[in-house]
């Protein structure tokens, strides 16, 4: 697989986002299925695995640690802090907490779950707006000096917040949603990353499955698990979803013209947007994993890429990416 720079590391151009194995899209696969998929990724040449304390409230880090720690020298390990599960009266609840003491405690817990002495890339999963980002990044800088993490990342922040953080300690990578149908990063963050030498990690690069081209009717959403996070996302609801489905015929036609699958088309487009961009698609399917990895072999002509961008962009996609409550938690620029 072609290689790209992720902060101080060299990794394969297509990485694996591990969230789906424990979190967010309904009932996760069994631990045995998760283990098989992680090992398959390693065999296919994936050298960057991305997890977080939030995913499965520690279950995902535990899975990654159990399965991949024997192969630790073969890959770059990324995880996240600042958004975790906290026990309450109604069970475990998701909490954003960027206080320095919380981040350091989460790191210690992550090291235990991941069965490692050091995490290569450690992100602030969300900026806690009650805590100056300088304080949160200062705590991560302490962890670098202590040898517990090697590099610092940020997730879902604006160009302005990135610059504030970078002034405290060099930021190796910024992670946010980026795909054909989510183009907010093009407002300012992509350019800021290029200017500062920060790698850009694109999560949900296949549009949370939409750009795989398999969805066909509103009934497909009705079949989603009750806990699937897409049920609360406007683009997958009502008239917005019906409008977005109308984009897929033209999109599938462009994939056929490019000689690749729809999912590969989405990933190849991202790889062509800049050498500092690294997609991290997630999946629970070994077949989809192999399909995603092979996207690194696809090259799009300038003309086809231009038609693709005209077909699916912020003017043609209906609905915001998050509902109002979730949108209030993030710091990214919005059109």
Residues designated catalytic? 55
Q: What 3-state DSSP class applies to 182?
A: strand
Q: What is the CA radius of gyration of the chain?
A: 19
The Cα 100–Cα 80 span in angstroms is 14
Q: What 3-state DSSP class applies to 129?
A: coil
β-strands 277-279, 199-203 pairing? parallel
| Measured torsion, CA atoms of residues 175, 267, 274, 236, in degrees rounded to the nearest 10 | -50
The Cα 316–Cα 319 span in angstroms is 10
Q: What 3-state DSSP class applies to 85?
A: strand
The Cα 276–Cα 296 span in angstroms is 14
CA angle 186, 189, 191 (to 5 degrees): 75
The Cα 20–Cα 27 span in angstroms is 9
The Cα 225–Cα 218 span in angstroms is 14
The Cα 127–Cα 150 span in angstroms is 20
Closest CA to 201 of 1, 35, 70, 7: 7
């Amino acid at each position: 697989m072609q290689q790209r720079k992720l902060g101080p590391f060299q990794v394969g151009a297509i990485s694996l986002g591990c969230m789906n194995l424990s979190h967010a899209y309904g009932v996760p696969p069994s631990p045995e299925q998760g283990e098989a998929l992680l090992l398959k990724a390693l065999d296919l040449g994936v050298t960057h695995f991305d997890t977080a304390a939030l995913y499965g409230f520690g279950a995902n880090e535990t899975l990654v640690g159990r399965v991949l720690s024997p192969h630790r020298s073969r890959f770059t390990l990324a995880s996240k802090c600042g958004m975790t599960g906290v026990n309450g009266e109604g069970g475990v609840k998701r909490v954003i907490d960027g206080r320095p003491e919380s981040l350091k405690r989460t790191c210690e817990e992550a090291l235990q779950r991941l069965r490692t002495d050091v995490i290569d890339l450690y992100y602030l999963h969300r900026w806690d707006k009650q805590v100056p980002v300088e304080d949160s990044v200062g705590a991560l800088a302490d962890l670098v000096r202590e040898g517990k993490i090697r590099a610092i990342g940020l997730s879902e922040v604006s160009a302005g917040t990135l610059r504030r953080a970078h002034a405290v300690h060099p930021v190796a990578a910024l992670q946010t949603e980026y795909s054909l149908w989510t183009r907010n990063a093009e407002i300012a963050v992509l350019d800021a990353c290029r200017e500062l030498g920060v790698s850009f990690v694109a999560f949900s690069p296949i549009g949370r499955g939409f750009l795989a081209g398999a969805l066909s009717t509103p009934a497909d959403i009705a079949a989603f698990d009750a806990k699937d996070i897409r049920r609360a996302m406007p683009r997958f609801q009502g008239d917005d979803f019906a409008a977005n489905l109308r984009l897929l015929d033209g999109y599938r036609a462009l994939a056929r013209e490019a000689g690749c699958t729809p999912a590969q088309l989405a990933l190849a487009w991202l790889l062509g947007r800049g050498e500092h961009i690294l997609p991290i698609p997630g999946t629970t399917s070994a077949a989809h994993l192999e399909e995603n990895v092979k996207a690194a072999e696809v090259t799009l002509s300038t003309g086809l890429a231009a038609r693709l961008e005209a077909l699916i962009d912020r003017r043609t996609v209906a609905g915001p990416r998050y509902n109002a409550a979730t949108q209030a938690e993030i710091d990214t620029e919005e059109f």
